[in-house]
Amino acid sequence: MTNKPSKSQNTVWHHATVTRERHEQLNGHRGIVVWFTGLSGAGKSTIAHEVEERLHRLGCRTFVFDGDNVRHGLCSDLGFSVEDRTENIRRIGEMTKLFVGAGVIALTAFISPYRRDRERVRQLVGDKDFIEVYTRCPIEICESRDTKGLYQRARAGEIQDFTGISSPYEPPEQPELIIDTSLESLERCAERVVVLLQQRGVMITPKGN
Amino acid sequence: MTNKPSKSQNTVWHHATVTRERHEQLNGHRGIVVWFTGLSGAGKSTIAHEVEERLHRLGCRTFVFDGDNVRHGLCSDLGFSVEDRTENIRRIGEMTKLFVGAGVIALTAFISPYRRDRERVRQLVGDKDFIEVYTRCPIEICESRDTKGLYQRARAGEIQDFTGISSPYEPPEQPELIIDTSLESLERCAERVVVLLQQRGVMITPKGN
């Protein structure tokens, strides 16, 4: 230790100098939450990953949150009761808020069936940083896809509180975007999300242009 | 909708194509957790912010987690009992793991007094992605700083379970780095952390160089 001791009373106490704005300037785009909501099998996760792929190619910093990386991790102590779903969405909301603070485009793919829970996240994150994408698809088509075999298990009574079967889904009343994966191609849905982000000014125009 | 409908059975189900490696290549550095542990007033948050400032100037993607943005948010339902502290650190660990997955350098500034809790995070995140920085400082000096007036309140019995006063602190046995803010300047401490990250190969050398 060749440096002089810094006596406690002389220490300069720095705090957050790297603000959200500086993260965003470095990234070339704003941080924002793109919140996909819809039934199991509607295509939320698929679209979110396709949107991420397109944004990444544009040089954006992104991250996709879905059941795979959250339900087994941060929320591994939670089930599917109304209370647990609410707490699940609350935590995801808090976490995405931090990603937004880091200047990241956070894409979330959760059924998030309750309007009230989604509205709380919107209020938490802030209206201008929250884009709700209603990923619409008739339940018959979701069920016919049944990529994970969940509908079959829910029909057999092996899964309790399954959204659309034994638990309600409340569609958004005023989402920023509605995509319908039974009518539109994956590519078209993803393109519409990216265009909306561009229209909302998420990409920062370099200074001097 | 001019696009042809994509029938469910024909839908191509894309999943995560933007891997951690692609995030890291875009960022020019690896994702990693730098976990500061130590008493209240030892300087964890101050050093973490100074390290962030330096890394940001090097073009790195960073984020600092501390009581300000986690205790009031993600962990607002938790107190300071042993169980709640454990759950607090578990959630922070899970969250930082996701930031690492996004290729971000996650700097955490929490007392995190229990060795077992910190070891769990290390195991969760993975040894090579976890740098434990023991931010050492004699409690007398921490108490003399008492920037938030917490020690005074703890001595007066107004705060229960206060680490170092009425709750134990377990120092790391084999931290990757020990800094001592009673002996070294803020600048020196921050520099040592940045140098360690460089030595560990966190910055990616551009291909072809």
Tens of pLDDT along B123-181?
Answer: 999 999 999 999 999 999 999 998 889 999 999 999 989 999 999 999 999 999 999 99
Per the model's pLDDT, the better-predicted residue between A105 and B15 turns out to be: A105
Tell me the three state secondary structure of residue B97: helix
Measured between alpha carbons, how far is B133 from B152 in angstroms, rounded to an integer?
A: 27
Provide the domain count of chain B: 1
Neighbours of B34 (CB within 10 A): 28
| Per-residue model confidence (pLDDT) at position A68 | 83
Is residue B14 one of the residues assigned to a domain? no
Over chain B, what is the mean pLDDT?
91
Instruction: State the count of interchain CB pairs (< 8 A) between A and B.
Output: 168
Q: Which domain holds residue A124?
A: 42-199
Is residue A37 one of the residues assigned to a domain? no
Measured between alpha carbons, how far is B35 from B48 in angstroms, rounded to an integer?
A: 9
CA B145 to chain A, closest CA, distance in angstroms equals: 6
Are the CB atoms for A20 and A104 separated by under 8 Å? Answer: no
Closest to B107 measured CA to CA, from B55, B173, B171: B55
User: Can you give the pTM of this predicted structure?
Assistant: 0.91
Report whether pLDDT(B203) > 80: yes
Q: Which whole-number Å values give the CA distances from B95 to A32, A48, B28, B107, B190, in the listed order?
A: 18, 20, 22, 12, 23
Q: In sequence order, which residues have a C-beta less than 8 Å from that of residue B79 and are 6 or more positions away?
A: none
B182 carries an active-site annotation: no
The two structure tokens encoding residue B156: 């007066």
Which residue out of B6, B45, B76, B112 is catalytically annotated? B112
Is residue A155 one of the residues assigned to a domain? yes
Tell me the three state secondary structure of residue B145: helix
> A14-18, A64-68, A180-184, B74-78: which has the minimum mean pLDDT?
A14-18
CA B115 to chain A, closest CA, distance in angstroms equals: 20
| Per-residue model confidence (pLDDT) at position A67 | 85
Q: What is the ipTM metric for this complex?
A: 0.90
Instruction: Tell me how many degrees the CA angle B201-B55-B106 measures, rounded to the nearest 5.
Output: 75
Report whether pLDDT(B204) > 60: yes
> A90-94, A152-156, B68-72, B124-128: which has the minimum mean pLDDT?
B68-72
Are the CB atoms for B201 and A24 separated by under 8 Å? Answer: no
Tens of pLDDT along A166-177?
Answer: 999 999 999 999
Tens of pLDDT along A15-60?
Answer: 789 999 999 999 999 999 999 999 999 999 999 999 999 999 999 9
Is residue B55 one of the residues assigned to a domain? yes
Is residue A32 one of the residues assigned to a domain? no
Is residue B178 one of the residues assigned to a domain? yes
| Per-residue model confidence (pLDDT) at position A31 | 98
Please report, for the domain that includes residue B144, its CATH number. 3.40.50.300
For B18, the closest of A18, A46, A52 (CB atoms) is A52
